[in-house]
Structure formats: structure tokens, C-alpha cells
């Protein structure tokens, strides 16, 4: 098992960089039909995040995450199963127009493994703020993506996880400071 964390701030564009990784390997035994089977499972995850604010009227944040999981039979067969891998990307931009108006665009991409259903989302936000009062309009899942999936292999079992996701919707929020 091992992990790594790194973060760094830069004066250039008021930026910050974050890197994280985790790695683990474990060995287990399982008795199946009077035969002792030994298998090794391992996982690796890597995440990177970058925040920049090149101007007081704009900031942006990008994140990429990668996951890979593997299972390998050690005894009796030495068989290696297909790995489970997926990547997700998230990109958020905020625009500050004057003192009262804020626009936001959030995009997310989930990229699955081997013929799996990927998904792309886009949300849009408009916020108006004045004298402690805030009115926000959110337009979620503009492209109406409905699902994504990925496969998982655990010893002798392979499963597919299918996510049914939020529908396209519009929301309005109002808040005020008391």
C-alpha cells in the first residue's frame, strides 16, 4: 500500500496544482470446490487538479481522475483477469460580470472501460446577487445524458455497474442573509 500527495501554489494566474495517487496490492485465499485458490488484487488511482484565476473576472478548475483495478490468480492457474479502468474529467469555469452577475459552466466526462457506456454532462448556472440576496438559476444535464457503466472483476465474479443519472432539469434558488 502506498499513497502520494502533492500541492503547489503559483503566483502566475493565482494558480494551484494538486496531485494525489494511491496504490494497493493484497493477496487472499478462497476455498472453491475443495481447492484452495490464491489471488492477488491491486488498485491504482491517480488524480490531478488545477485551479487558475488569470483575471478577477474569471476562474477555472480542471480535474482528471484515473482508476485501474486488477485481479490475478496466483494458484492454481495463474490466470489474469481483464482490468477495470475508467477516467473522469471535470472542467468548471466561472465568469464574474460586474458585482452582481456570475455565470458558471460545468462539464463532466466519464470514460469507461472496454465497450462501456460513457457519459458527458454539462450544467449552466446564472446567479444574481445584491445586498445579501442571491437568486440562482441552474440548468442541469443540458445534453440529457442518462447513464454510464463500468465493469468490475473480483476473483471469480465479474459485474457491470450501470448508473442511471439525473434527468435534464431547471432549478431556481433564492437565499438571503438575515
Give the highest mean pLDDT range of 63-67, 77-81, 152-156, 162-166: 63-67
Nearest of 166, 86, 83 to residue 118 by alpha carbon: 86
HEC-encoded secondary structure of 110-159: EECCCCCCCEEEEEEEEEEEECCEEEEEEEECCCCCCEEEEEEEECCEEE
- Does the structure show a pLDDT above 90 at 172? yes
- Does the structure show a pLDDT above 80 at 151? no
The predicted structure's pLDDT at residue 134: 94
Mean pLDDT of the region 124-131: 94
- Are 144 and 164 spatial neighbours (Cβ–Cβ below 8 Å)? no
- Does the structure show a pLDDT above 60 at 155? no
Q: Three-state SS for 28? A: strand
Nearest of 61, 42, 45 to residue 53 by alpha carbon: 61
Beta strands in the chain (DSSP E): 2-10, 15-32, 35-55, 58-75, 84-97, 101-111, 119-130, 133-140, 147-154, 157-164, 169-176
Higher per-residue confidence, 156 vs 8: 8
Confidence of residue 175 (pLDDT cuts 50, 70, 90): very high
Confidence of residue 91 (pLDDT cuts 50, 70, 90): very high
Q: What is the mean pLDDT of the chain?
A: 85
The predicted structure's pLDDT at residue 13: 87
Mean pLDDT of the region 121-134: 93
DSSP 76: S
The predicted structure's pLDDT at residue 114: 61
Nearest of 83, 71, 146 to residue 114 by alpha carbon: 83
- Does the structure show a pLDDT above 80 at 27? yes
- Does the structure show a pLDDT above 80 at 77? no
- Does the structure show a pLDDT above 80 at 58? yes
Amino acid at each position: 500500500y502506498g499513497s502520494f500527495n502533492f500541492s503547489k501554489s503559483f503566483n502566475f494566474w493565482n494558480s494551484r496544482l494538486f496531485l494525489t495517487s494511491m496504490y494497493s496490492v493484497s493477496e487472499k485465499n478462497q476455498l472453491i470446490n475443495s481447492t484452495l485458490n490464491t489471488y492477488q488484487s491491486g488498485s491504482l488511482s491517480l488524480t490531478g487538479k488545477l485551479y487558475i484565476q488569470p483575471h478577477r473576472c474569471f476562474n477555472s478548475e480542471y480535474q482528471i481522475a484515473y482508476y485501474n483495478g486488477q485481479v490475478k490468480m496466483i494458484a492454481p492457474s495463474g490466470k489474469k483477469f481483464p482490468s477495470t479502468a475508467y477516467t473522469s474529467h471535470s472542467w468548471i469555469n466561472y465568469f464574474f460580470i460586474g458585482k452582481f452577475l456570475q455565470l458558471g459552466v460545468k462539464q463532466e466526462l466519464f470514460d469507461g472501460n472496454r465497450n462501456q457506456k460513457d457519459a458527458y454532462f454539462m450544467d449552466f448556472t446564472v446567479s444574481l446577487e445584491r445586498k445579501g440576496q442571491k437568486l440562482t438559476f441552474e440548468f442541469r444535464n443540458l445534453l440529457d445524458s442518462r447513464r454510464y457503466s463500468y465493469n468490475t472483476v473480483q476473483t471469480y465474479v465479474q459485474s457491470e455497474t450501470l448508473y442511471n443519472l439525473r434527468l435534464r432539469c431547471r432549478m431556481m434558488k433564492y437565499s438571503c442573509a438575515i
